[in-house]
Structure 1
Amino acid sequence: MTHPARLVTTIAAPLPFTRADDAPHLERRAGRRLLVQRGDTELIVQHLDESWATAGTGRFPAPWPRRYGHFAVSPTGDLAVFAGPHALRVVDRAGNLRWEVRHRCWAGCAGHESFAEYADQRDHRYVGSGSAGFSADGTLVWAHIRGPLALDRGRGADEWLIMAAQDGTVLARAATHTAAEGSDHVGHPDAGQMGLTIGEGQDGAPLRWGRWDGRTLAIDSFSDEDRVLLAVSPTGNRLLTVTHDQDTLALHRVTDGTVEASLSAAELPPRPAPTTEQSEAFEGDETQAFFDYEGGFADEDTVVVATVESDEEFGTGRHWLIDATRMRLTDRLAYPFEVPGLPRALGDGTWYTASATESALHLWTT
């Protein structure tokens, strides 16, 4: 069965499509709607009103090109944190450096003071990286770094830090016991909780859940299973994950990580029959669909996911509606025109997709 998706609006990207720019994305946090796009020299944040029209724009100068790390924007759009090879930097919309926390280089070098010193070094261009995220109320910055900090002595190890957003004071830190190639923070409505999904390449995808009570950072590894954290439900009560091999979606209780329900990719309807050429190119389980590393809650009881990566050799990638109360397939989404790429849910009954040239975002609802 298919379920029609209704187009709510189309939003133009603030930067023109070039290979030097990331695709834009939407964030819905603290009652605000933000459109965010990273270029090589700046980060642009557009504030959107209730009709999704632009109601103001902020531009943050970037300390290094986009390939050298990650970034995050505060819920109010007034601060941005850049997580780079050697440091975390928080800047405001005027371009002022609010604070910096330096740490051991992800490339393992002795350290650099500026981007110009390592711009042409191959080991810095193709290296792992950490990430950062603001708490729901914007008062904290959570950051995954390669320790130790500049003020420490000792060997490097992955660490999770909590810092005061206004001045960078390190409030808590703990080892993640991982060997990351990359990571992403997944926010929670409670400022004292945060998810961290870590990629170790083919070795695994450890998940960490942090809880901060104002004094101590406690980290839950949820039985050390290799799961990629995709999203937190709007109420903050449940988590959505996909296994590292992408064959199973699961719904977890936030309190202890217990799996409440799951859905196997084997339960999806079959793709159209492959051509003879496709059958010869893909054998055995290579023809089996699998879930993408992207998905989220359209609302508390509805999940939107996709199988685009595994479908692309057989035709248009498919998007799915999932009943989150039981993790049961509802319908395949049907769009009024071809929609490439992945769906990203906003938790208010909508999700969005990027246009083929990534020059606009299409906002959808059922």
Structure 2
Amino acid sequence: MSITAQLRGSVRLPGGGALVHGFALESRGDGSCRALLRNGHELEVYDLHELLAGERAPAAVFPLPWPGWDRGVHSVGPEGTFAVFSGQRAVRAVGAGGETLWEYRHNCWGPELDHPHTGDEQEVCRGSEHGSCRISDDGRFVWAHVVAEPESGYWEERWVVLDARDGREVARLPLDSAAAGSNHLSHPDGVHMGLSIGMGQDGILLHWARWDGEKLTAWHLNEGLDRILTDVHAGHPGFLTVEHYGADLRLHALDGTVLAERESDPADDEEDPPYWDYGCGFVDADTVIASTAESDEDPERARHWLLDAHTLRIRGVVTYPTGPVDSDVRPLGDGTWLTYDDGSGTLNRWTLASP
């Protein structure tokens, strides 16, 4: 079945592919969406809906603490008054005027044998490994994936909860990981936080936790599983994951119980059928959109699928009025989703066409 999409908004946005293919889009439980885009030595913050409506001026601009460091996943406070950056050797909070509010030091993500640091905080060590951070929706805490301090005597990664006012550590969870990179996913309930840790060919680790002000409670989905945490929705009881190599999509209850599963295109009779891309999630509480665009070298065969958000039953393939769209998708949870045209540098927002 073919389901027609309708264009809701479009803007030419160089670098905007990070909103669809990366982690530059920060959504919060109140429905707000911010685009966090690097421009030179600055992080520009846009209200996504205003940007698509034609407002080209950023809502806030923060200087990058380490201009030579181009990794890590950063976060901006719910009011836009401060940002927290995930660096190679520190997590740092920066105010709207560019002033350092606090810094939480940790071990280096890119250590080298017999390589002492020079003391220059702008030094960037070789290696692509990085952590991530996320400010809670109420702005009170910062969740960060870091490397333990050197005195621990061995490599240990940690998930820490910091007081957003001063960077004081209030809780920590040792992690059995050797990350290439990570990202956080904030649950719209304002209580739970998810962490997905990519370890390259060694797979994916997936953790959930909650901090009640006194106790950190955490659990994971890592026993024989290899799942990438992709999305969650305020109106849905579960969360969505995709298998590391795109073999299937799954809906889980918050405790990890599998509610539904969908393998890649069951109707494809090719010897090498397409696999699910990492870009998938909730269009709304009842609809999931998923992509098999990247797995097929022919852009004319790129497909975006709509699925029932409770059973993962396939409803149909999306048809675009502009022709095939070979981009990943990034759903916004409000009935719309984003795609990005690399050729024209255009960010597009779509919805389902009215019947």
Same fold (TM > 0.5): yes
Greater CA drift, 351-360 or 100-109: 351-360
2:261 maps to: 262
Match 1:93 to one of 93, 96, 103 = 96
What is the aligned partner in structure 2 of residue 37 from structure 1? 37
- Contact residue 250 and residue 263 of structure 1 kept, 8 A: yes
TM-score (norm: length of structure 1): 0.85
Q: Quote the residue 1:207 is aligned against.
A: 206
Runs of 4+ in structure 1 displaced over 6 angstroms?
Answer: none
SS at match of 2:235: coil
Question: 1:92-131, aligned counterparts within 5 Å?
Answer: 92-109=95-112, 110-111=116-117, 113-118=119-124, 124-131=125-132
d(CA) in 1 for partners of 2:340, 2:119: 37
Change in Cα spacing, 1:112 to 1:324, as seen in structure 2 (3 Å) is farther
Which residue number in structure 1 is paired with residue 143 of structure 2? Answer: 142
C-alpha contact (below 8 Å) 1:43/1:61 kept by paired residues: yes
**Does 2:340 align with 1:354?**
yes
Q: Measure, in 2, the Cα distance between the counterparts of 1:141 and 1:58.
A: 19
In the superposition, the TM-score normalised over structure 2's length comes to 0.88
Query: Paired residue for 2:18, among 23, 27, 37?
Result: 23
- More displaced, 40-49 or 24-33? 24-33
Identical residues among aligned pairs (%): 38
Alignment of 1:301 onto 2:303: no
Task: Describe how 1:1-366 pairs up with structure 2 within 5 A.
Answer: 1-13=1-13, 16=14, 23-24=18-19, 25-29=24-28, 30-47=30-47, 52-54=53-55, 57-64=59-66, 65=68, 67-109=70-112, 110-111=116-117, 113-118=119-124, 124-148=125-149, 153-222=152-221, 224=223, 225-235=225-235, 237-254=237-254, 256-267=255-266, 269-270=267-268, 284=271, 287-313=272-298, 315-337=300-322, 338-357=324-343, 359-366=345-352
1:358/1:75 Cα in 2 relative to 1: closer, same or farther (>3 Å)?
farther
- What is the aligned length? 339
CA contact (8 A) 2:233 2:282 kept: yes
Rate the CA distance shift 1:187–1:92 in 2: closer, same or farther, 3 A.
same
- Report the CA distance shift for 1:2/1:112 in structure 2 as closer, same or farther (over 3 A): farther
RMSD: 2.4
Query: CA separation in 1, counterparts of 2:107 and 2:298?
Result: 41
Amino acid in structure 1 at the alignment position of 2:260: A
SS of 2:204's equivalent in the other structure is: coil
Paired with 1:84 and 1:2, the residues of 2 have a C-alpha distance of 45
